[in-house]
Amino acid sequence: MKNHEKSIDPASQKMLDKAYAEGIQTVWDRLEAQQPHCGFGELGLCCRHCNMGPCRIDPFGNGPKLGVCGANADTIASRQLVRMIAAGAAAHSDHGRDIVLAFRAAAEHGEGDYKFKDEKKLLALASEFNIPTEGRTIQEIALDVSDIALDEYGMRGQKLQFTKRAPKVRQDLWTSLGVDPRGIDREVVECMHRTTMGVDTDYVNLTLQGIRTSLSDGWGGSMWATELSDVLFGTPEVVKGWSNLGVLSDKEVNIVVHGHEPTLSDIIVFAARDPELLKKAKEKGAEGINICGMCCTGNEILMRHGVPIAGNFLQQELAIITGAVEAMIVDVQCIMPSLPTVANCFHTKVISTSPKAVFPGATHVPFDEKNAMETAKQIISIAIDNYPNRNQGRVNIPSDRMGYMAGFSVETILGALGGTLDPLLDAIKSGSIRGIAGIVGCNNPKVRQDHNHIALAKELIKNNVLVVETGCAAIASAKAGLLLPEAADMAGEGLAAVCRALGVPPVLHMGSCVDNSRVLVVAAAIANALGVDISDLPLAAAAPEWMSEKAVAIGTYAVSSGIYTVLNSPPPVLGSSNLTNLLTAGAEGVVGAVFAVEADPVKQAGLIIEHIEKKRTALGL
């Protein structure tokens, strides 16, 4: 495969050329070396959950039709799916737990490095949870909020607080199906129990547990991560900045923060402004300190501080290959184990910070929220000391960069609309906006980088569908210029007019991948305003380049919330025709939405538009 076929991004193409010329292996090379992938694995028909196996089921020939224990294709494939959902929910929800613990530490130590940047939102949460506020300090109120949050991870048969935000008809549906989450950790543990050899073997029953676990993520762990991150670090407001590898500087100390948890990256932004560190950088020959983001931790700081973002998932190795990165600071999730190996080809230091994610070959600096600023300064100092080791003869920073407008939290969207959803509802009712589509998810080297994200978004806005995005999909649109108000020129007449009136892009950046919870909140608010269920709305979602187990959890809680969801490729379930039919057809009669699978992004857009028009007709619009 030629480099221009691996990515539509010109900066990535240039770095791939450099990697090839210098013999540096990247994710695309490793993908090619893995071909052909295991067909049993792709179909979900291999099982290694006990030591009688591993077992596989032959869907075509005269091979085995049952595992050693007697499990059939339906059981094996559904167990694989449920374990993927559990892993994805665990990742997002554990991220949420760390935010809750940082939030609680800020409440307990009011003079620490973390302050409550949005006390108004904290008070709103207290009101939502019936926590008394009169005559009490912010710290006392925050401690009560954190108690509720921590209780939700291991409840005793109660109901998650945020599920009450969903329309009453949706809540009743979840109750009737027995999929109301009973506690975030409990649902993940029960998934692992049920999928152990000798426990649950019914594919429908297993799938219902997957639904319940995904809801504990979307309406639980992820929502707590978003809400309390806003309180701690500030609710995003509209910001402008720059994206792509061209944001790296040839004369400054370049530090790339990569991962997902803003507890570290947010404090790094402020630590880099320290006069002593800036003085040290100049003493080492640099003109300053340049903080850039990568992946979702990059999204966290770009939407709160306008920090430049160097790229999305498939660019993490390429940033190092520029030869201009002094340090890549990583925490958790979506971090390639290859980074230290690539960094060894240059002067770059990969610095890991989480006890949950240690990478052989990286420098480990444990991050402690109680001494956050001190740790951040220590890490930045390591990067500064590394600046003189940069080989200027090997530096090749692509000139490609693009501006963006981001920070579209629920509160920002409401503010742009004058504090009420009415203007948005009026635009939908009039047909100026036909509907809303959420494009989310990762990059995957099996798909030409950013191609599906951009082609899908362009086709949707051309047809007057407002697009909201999170995660790596949003970064793809930033690099392509779709997060600028000028992108309204690519939109249909109705959507373009709305965007120009509000001064916003036709593609709205709503945050990191845990911030898909913001999409749920908006969907619930619109449904409640119209007096309908979420499944009745002209609304859809898509993950056109997904790769992570987190994406499986996200897609499942979207469908389980009533949102039609399009994937470019299926999870490993096709070996079970019954499970495949349940997910793509039968679920309509259960939760009011289904998955659809389509590789072509233009055809994906066609499916979404067809769905939106069907919902408009049913609503009489």
Residues at the annotated binding site? 38, 46-47, 50, 55, 69, 260, 296, 334, 442, 472, 513
Contact 209, 81 (CB under 8 A): no
Contact 26, 15 (CB under 8 A): no
Report how far residue 141's alpha carbon sits from residue 255's, in angstroms, rounded to the nearest whole number: 36
Report how far residue 248's alpha carbon sits from residue 141's, in angstroms, rounded to the nearest whole number: 42
Q: Where are the alpha helices (DSSP H) in 129-261?
A: 138-151, 168-177, 184-194, 203-216, 222-233
Q: Please tell me what DSSP assigns to residue 217.
A: I
DSSP for 353-379, written as a single string: --TT---TTSEE----GGGHHHHHHHH
For CA atoms 187, 576, 614, 603, the dihedral sign is positive
* Known binding positions for [Ni-4Fe-4S] cluster: 260, 296, 334, 442, 472, 513
Radius of gyration of the chain (CA): 24
Contact 103, 226 (CB under 8 A): no
DSSP for 387-443, written as a single string: GGG--GGG-------EEEEE---HHHHHHHTTSSSHHHHHHHHHTSS-EEEEE----
Q: Please tell me what DSSP assigns to residue 544.
A: T
Contact 454, 477 (CB under 8 A): yes
Distances (CA, A) of 484 to 238, 400, 478, 500, 507: 12, 16, 8, 11, 8
- The three-state secondary structure class of 604 is helix
Contact 519, 438 (CB under 8 A): yes
Look up residue 206 and give its two tokens: 């297993």
Contact 237, 112 (CB under 8 A): no
* Residue indicated by tokens 């949460």: 125
* Known binding positions for [4Fe-4S] cluster: 38, 46-47, 50, 55, 69
Report how far residue 82's alpha carbon sits from residue 200's, in angstroms, rounded to the nearest whole number: 11
- The three-state secondary structure class of 349 is strand
Look up residue 221 and give its two tokens: 């762990």
Distances (CA, A) of 234 to 114, 462, 470, 576: 11, 33, 18, 46
Look up residue 551 and give its two tokens: 């994406």
Contact 455, 280 (CB under 8 A): no
Residue 377 contacts by C-beta under 8 Å, 6 or more apart in sequence? Answer: 271, 274, 277
Length of the chain equals 621
Q: Where are the alpha helices (DSSP H) in 408-561?
A: 410-416, 422-430, 451-462, 471-479, 493-502, 516-530, 549-560
Give the neighbor-by-neighbor strand order of the sheet with 239-243.
363-364, 349-352, 327-330, 253-258, 289-294, 309-311, 239-243, 402-406
